[in-house]
Chains A and B, each alone.
Chain A
Amino acid sequence: MEGLSVADANLVMYLHPSKSRNVSQSILRELGSLLFKFNETFDGVLLAYDVNILDKQAKILSGVHPYFGLRLKANLLLFSPKPDMLLEGKVVKLSQESIHVIVLGFSSAIITAENIRGEFKYRTKDTEELFASKSHKRHVIKVGTMIRFLVKSFDEEILHIIGSLISAHTGSIRWLDRHLEEDSKFDRSFNKLKSFI
């Protein structure tokens, strides 16, 4: 899945003097308040962090409230989906108009009917709603399926993704992995053949 990255960050954190009694707890709390929010500096949503204090000494800023600046080194797990990235998520709701997906358990995505390729037809089978592929009978998308989709846009405030299933690389992951493998095997042998010609 694209969009996930680990970053090494050198941070300077400014703490209020009242926090000086328990600095490590304050650092964790400050970083914790950044979780699951889009951060412009990091250009992504902070998912997890691992932090180390570089220097036990901190510079005190002069002013009305003498905040002190701590230098930290942190490992950050970031999620920053950009358009045309392929993401994976679980289908939680399916209707004729749209497919609702949850990515990484916290980010919601929607794929509207006009962004689902014509290959998929909406069907109701025994009161279960699903999208089934016309060309590949086994390729089925229903509630609970893990699917791979393309990012069209990403709302940074609500962490809401608008996705599309137009591209051929998208659809049910299980089916794609199985068949792409076969396809790639076929491709490789075909290419080998081509090279002989």
Chain B
Amino acid sequence: MGLELPKYPEMEEDQVFNFTDSEIVSHVKQALASVLSGDNNSYNQLVGVMHHSKHLAPDEVALLETTLKALAGAVSSIDITHHDSLLSAIYCMSMWNYGPHVADALAELIVSLAISNGKYLDLCLGMLVSNFTPPPYFLDKLKMPHGLERKGQVLSRVHAAFKKIADYVPLAPLRLLTIVLQGMPTIYHKDRAIVIYVENMLKLESGEIGELVGSTILMAVVDRLIELDVEIGWDAILQDDFSKGIFEMELEDVDDIEESAEPDVGEFRLSRKSLAGNSIAELLDNLLVLTFEHLESCEREGRLAKVFETLLQSFRVTVLSAYKSKFAQFVMFYACALDPENCGMRFATVLADLFVQDSQPQPTRMSAVSYLASYLSRAKFLAASSISSMLKRLVDWCLEYCEAHDGDINPNAHRVFYSGCQAIMYVLCFRMKVFVDVPRLKSELLIPLEQVLKHKLNPLKVCLPSVVEEFLRQAKAASLFTVCKTFIFDGLLESELSRAFGGLERLDTFFPFDPCLLKKCDSFIRPMFVFWSMVKPTYDDAFDDDDDDDGSSDDDLVQDFVNENEDIMNDEFGKSFDEQGVDMDEFDYALKKMSITPKATSNYKFGGRFQEPARMPSRIRPSTSPESL
């Protein structure tokens, strides 16, 4: 076959061999030692066995296994200079190519080599880290059952090897950390190795050496998420293509449940369509899902609070300072959702603390309050009391600011103040109904707020007109207070003044927790997310029952499509309110058509996770068409 088998002592073809392990080990030692005296024959044969990896016959497999085991016993005879060809052959081996027995033997060899001498430690760890990702030909097989089985087999051995090495060389995790971080595939790797690599990193974090390496690894993962995030341009998302008819649904495509080449078939979210071919978005989606699942397992193990502290630090350093991060912040959202009382409150508190600290730079403070506003509005899991206490903090700060500054309207000079006011108004647009009914809140919150809004600094004129308009509309309907002047905005999203306070970074139009446009992510986030359609504005009581579906907290999934779509597309309030009535009529016809195959549709529309119905919001009523018709 072109491969010369090493001649083990007394090997004859028709004899049955029964060598003890120590005999084989001593033979290997001899082969290694003979190199020093110039006789390379048996040594070269050994190296040959290592290199032979593809399409092995059973006896070749047995030979490889025996050789590896023997080498493990003979590590003390391996010399770094004389046996470098053997060493490089060993380091190039990939466990993905072999079955469980050879993989075991290889892992054992690597561990023995690593602990025998400090010189080999880094290279052995490096070899194990390179086994995080399968060889290129295997990447496609990963989805198949055979591939998954091999993956489980390899990764369990790799991580077990890390633990063993750490047991005998206590400082190994530190070296491992450096190697893992250096070995992270860049986002430009075509072979998507990064997804499985990050999976391994998260496995390290939750593994037995997790305490030592966990926090650095998590921060590196978030760094990578942000890197991907900033690669997706904002223009890829905000597309104003109204002419296409936002509610066009190709029903025939709905039947095609298989993931076709066109990932957004039947998907009528324009913004998502534009992200459809975007491979970076897909990559980010996959990584975010991995992170979410990891957070879930942390929560099950009771470590979420500790992990959250690392995430918070990472958020402050990386996400907060990134220019308008689009999706990476949902990691925080999901973590808070898993533990609303501790993590949820902690996140809000940290953001509020950042906002009120004078020593923080302006963009940081404005960013923080935008995050806070978006978070308080969108988090379904936050208690009303938490929201009100946060709002109270903001209102108190704004009031203090007003009293300390006696100037006139000046968007540039009081940017932080205006962003604070806008934040308060934004949150109240979503949550006003809650506060209106509680008289104590009315006095604690709304009276000081009135003072702020009526101050000379005139936030109502400077803040984003769409926000102000909606706020005033709801405030009027709830008879909270009246403003002397009427503000005419003409459904404008923004004004010159708002642009001025928003500055170059446009922090006046930054709503970080707007609905997530990444398909798979969204299916995780959805059950804990407040869509604008779910909000019952105070002026709604004035309309007929027909429109009650709008504000129904019962979450009629069909309604969500209508209004969510508006929400994303417009990213503003003006348009959505004005066109609401019109769109409803157009849509109802399509809705009725939809009720034929509701289950499939709903499953598919919600990010296609029909294999795991547990993910779906439990309140789906598949076959109801809107009662209004």
Asked if A102 and B117 sit within 8 Å, CB to CB, the answer is: no
- Residue among B22, B119, B121, B168 with most chain A CB within 10 A: B168
CB-CB under 8 A for A155 and B119, given A97-B73, A113-B76? yes
Give Cα A164 to B171, complex, Å: 22
Give Cα A158 to B122, complex, Å: 9
CB-CB under 8 A for A106 and B170, given A93-B115, A155-B118, A160-B117? yes
State whether the Cβ of A24 lies closer than 8 Å to any Cβ in chain B.
no
State whether the Cβ of A128 lies closer than 8 Å to any Cβ in chain B.
no
Give the residue of A97, A106, A108, A159 whose beta carbon is less than 8 angstroms from that of B168. A108
Q: Which residues from chain A contact B143 at a C-beta distance below 8 Å?
A: none
Within 8 A of A (CB), among B159-181: 167-171, 174-175
Asked if A110 and B115 sit within 8 Å, CB to CB, the answer is: yes
Give Cα A105 to B170, complex, Å: 7
State whether the Cβ of B74 lies closer than 8 Å to any Cβ in chain A.
yes
Q: Which residues from chain A contact B170 at a C-beta distance below 8 Å?
A: 102, 105-108
CB-CB under 8 A for A92 and B116, given A97-B74, A158-B121? no
Q: Which residues from chain B contact A105 at a C-beta distance below 8 Å?
A: 170
Within 8 A of B (CB), among A65-104: 92-93, 95-98, 100, 102
Give Cα A61 to B380, complex, Å: 54
Within 8 A of A (CB), among B24-44: none
State whether the Cβ of A40 lies closer than 8 Å to any Cβ in chain B.
no
- Nearest to A153 among chain B residues (CB) is B118
Give Cα A103 to B580, complex, Å: 73
How near does chain B come to A112, taking the closest CB pair, in angstroms? 4
State whether the Cβ of A157 lies closer than 8 Å to any Cβ in chain B.
yes
Give Cα A149 to B174, complex, Å: 26
State whether the Cβ of B75 lies closer than 8 Å to any Cβ in chain A.
yes
For chain A, the bracket of interface size reads: 20 to 34
Give the residue of B73, B167, B171 whose beta carbon is less than 8 angstroms from that of A158. B171
Q: Which residues from chain B contact A14 at a C-beta distance below 8 Å?
A: none
Give the residue of B22, B73, B115 whose beta carbon is less than 8 angstroms from that of A108. B115
Q: Which residues from chain A contact B121 at a C-beta distance below 8 Å?
A: 158, 160
Q: How many residues does chain B have at the interface if contact means C-beta atoms less than 8 Å apart?
A: 19
- Nearest to A102 among chain B residues (CB) is B170
- Nearest to A95 among chain B residues (CB) is B73
Asked if A98 and B118 sit within 8 Å, CB to CB, the answer is: no
Q: Which residues from chain A contact B116 at a C-beta distance below 8 Å?
A: 98, 110, 112
Asked if B73 and A110 sit within 8 Å, CB to CB, the answer is: no
State whether the Cβ of A175 lies closer than 8 Å to any Cβ in chain B.
no
- Residue among A97, A102, A162 with most chain B CB within 10 A: A97
- Nearest to A108 among chain B residues (CB) is B169
- Nearest to B25 among chain A residues (CB) is A97
Within 8 A of B (CB), among A132-164: 155, 157-160, 162
Asked if A160 and B74 sit within 8 Å, CB to CB, the answer is: no
State whether the Cβ of A49 lies closer than 8 Å to any Cβ in chain B.
no
How near does chain B come to A165, taking the closest CB pair, in angstroms? 14
Within 8 A of A (CB), among B109-164: 115-119, 121-122
Asked if A92 and B76 sit within 8 Å, CB to CB, the answer is: no
How near does chain A come to B614, taking the closest CB pair, in angstroms? 44
Give the residue of A36, A98, A159 whose beta carbon is less than 8 angstroms from that of B76. A98
Q: Which residues from chain B contact A158 at a C-beta distance below 8 Å?
A: 118-119, 121-122, 169, 171, 175
Q: Which residues from chain B contact A113 at a C-beta distance below 8 Å?
A: 76
Asked if B118 and A97 sit within 8 Å, CB to CB, the answer is: no
Interface string of B61-102 (1 = CB under 8 A from A): 000000000000111100000000000000000000000000
Give Cα A113 to B76, complex, Å: 9
CB-CB under 8 A for A112 and B119, given A158-B171, A158-B175? no
- Nearest to A161 among chain B residues (CB) is B118
Asked if B117 and A92 sit within 8 Å, CB to CB, the answer is: no
Q: Which residues from chain B contact A92 at a C-beta distance below 8 Å?
A: 167-168
Q: Which residues from chain A contact B73 at a C-beta distance below 8 Å?
A: 95-97
Within 8 A of A (CB), among B289-339: none
Asked if A100 and B75 sit within 8 Å, CB to CB, the answer is: no
How near does chain A come to B491, taking the closest CB pair, in angstroms? 46
Give Cα A68 to B366, complex, Å: 32
CB-CB under 8 A for A110 and B117, given A96-B22, A97-B75, A98-B76? yes
Asked if B171 and A36 sit within 8 Å, CB to CB, the answer is: yes
- Nearest to A156 among chain B residues (CB) is B118
Give Cα A108 to B119, complex, Å: 13
Asked if A157 and B118 sit within 8 Å, CB to CB, the answer is: yes
- Nearest to B122 among chain A residues (CB) is A158
Give Cα A102 to B165, complex, Å: 12
Q: Which residues from chain B contact A98 at a C-beta distance below 8 Å?
A: 76, 116
Q: Which residues from chain B contact A93 at a C-beta distance below 8 Å?
A: 115, 168
Q: Which residues from chain A contact B75 at a C-beta distance below 8 Å?
A: 97
Give Cα A126 to B84, complex, Å: 39
How near does chain B come to A102, taking the closest CB pair, in angstroms? 6
Q: Which residues from chain A contact B122 at a C-beta distance below 8 Å?
A: 158
CB-CB under 8 A for A159 and B171, given A110-B116, A110-B117? yes
Give Cα A110 to B174, complex, Å: 20
Q: Which residues from chain A contact B171 at a C-beta distance below 8 Å?
A: 36, 106-108, 158-159
Q: Which residues from chain B contact A107 at a C-beta distance below 8 Å?
A: 170-171
Within 8 A of A (CB), among B165-209: 167-171, 174-175
Within 8 A of B (CB), among A111-143: 112-114
Q: Which residues from chain B contact A97 at a C-beta distance below 8 Å?
A: 73-76
- Residue among B121, B169, B171 with most chain A CB within 10 A: B169
CB-CB under 8 A for A100 and B118, given A158-B171, A159-B171? no
Give Cα A106 to B116, complex, Å: 16
Q: Which residues from chain B contact A160 at a C-beta distance below 8 Å?
A: 117-118, 121, 169
Give Cα A158 to B165, complex, Å: 13
CB-CB under 8 A for A112 and B76, given A36-B171, A92-B168, A158-B171? yes
How near does chain B come to A36, taking the closest CB pair, in angstroms? 7
- Residue among A92, A95, A160 with most chain B CB within 10 A: A160
Give Cα A112 to B117, complex, Å: 10
Q: Which residues from chain A contact B117 at a C-beta distance below 8 Å?
A: 110, 155, 160, 162
Asked if A100 and B76 sit within 8 Å, CB to CB, the answer is: no
Give Cα A100 to B116, complex, Å: 8
Give Cα A108 to B175, complex, Å: 14
Known: A106-B171, A159-B118. 12 other contacts (CB 8 A): A36-B171, A92-B167, A92-B168, A93-B168, A97-B76, A107-B170, A108-B170, A112-B116, A158-B122, A159-B171, A160-B118, A162-B117
A–B pairs, 23, beta carbons within 8 Å: A36-B171, A93-B168, A97-B73, A97-B74, A97-B76, A98-B116, A100-B115, A102-B168, A102-B170, A106-B170, A106-B171, A107-B171, A108-B168, A108-B170, A110-B116, A155-B117, A157-B118, A158-B118, A158-B119, A158-B121, A158-B122, A158-B175, A159-B118
User: Which are the 3 A-B pairs with shortest beta-carbon distances?
Assistant: A160-B118, A158-B118, A155-B118
Taking Cβ atoms with an 8 Å cutoff, the residues of A that contact B are 36, 92-93, 95-98, 100, 102, 105-108, 110, 112-114, 155, 157-160, 162
